[in-house]
Amino acid sequence: MEPPRYKLLSTALAPQPRQMPPPPFDRDELQRIFADVSRTYPYQSFQFTPNGRGAAFTNGPGDSVELRPAQLQIDAKMDGPDVLTGPMASGKITKIFKVACDRLKVEAFLQCRIHIVASVDAPDQDAKKFVAEKLAHDVEQAPELGPDYFAGGVRFRRLVPPQGGEDNLTIEPDVNNNSLLFVEFDMIRGAISGPIELDQVSEWIDEALDFVAGPTMRLLSR
């Protein structure tokens, strides 16, 4: 089976507040971050958030940076004209976070969420059949609902109590192309024993990409 074709790598961090409510980010620093980041990763637009507390820079859907006192989020578009490999997308997100956190004096986080979207070639070019027969083991229940119903997907979940988080893997037929499987993976981690630092976030991003490329693909190749 061919390796996954990644579409999106998104990472969201909840900063540890120094005071409540957290104060707005400095507008001059937000503009400096945009200038610093754009030297390596050019973004087409910059705008302050509607309440003026943060800023966002974008290159269109799925390719953006949003910096707000309550959450920092980077979406890295991995397909399209400028294809990003897993390491390239991970490096992009990590570098932008470092620039932003250095300028905004954000040193630690309370929660991290990593979201990956990918597509995978379905065995025999039939995603609905593969999900129904191999993953859901369902060849009778969906048709009972009517001729147009099919097994819409499966979800696998893992709780990670020591880290206050969980992992969720969803596999579905691509509704726009039945020859493809639509894969989503979410990794959520919380600050339990101590605040989350950027080095740990970078490790989790690589761990999430490895999970999609490794165990997930082994499951789909069975």
The token duo for 77 is 């578009």
> What pLDDT, on a 0 to 100 scale, did the predictor assign at position 206?
96
Examine the pLDDT at 130 and tell me if it is beyond 60. Answer: yes
- Total count of domains within the chain: 1
DSSP reduced 3-state for 210: helix
> What pLDDT, on a 0 to 100 scale, did the predictor assign at position 139?
57
| Stated length of the chain | 222
Question: Residue 160 burial by CB count (10 A; 0-12/13-18/19+): exposed, middle or buried?
Answer: middle
Q: Are 117 and 11 in contact (CB under 8 A)?
A: no
> What pLDDT, on a 0 to 100 scale, did the predictor assign at position 163?
65
pTM of this structure: 0.93
Q: How far apart are CA 201 and CA 184, in angstroms?
A: 19
Q: Let me know how many helices (H) and strands (E) the chain has, helices first.
A: 6, 9
Domain span holding position 165: 5-221
Backbone phi and psi for residue 99, each to the nearest 5 degrees, phi listed first: -60, -50
Average pLDDT over residues 97-114: 96
More confident: 144 or 183 = 183
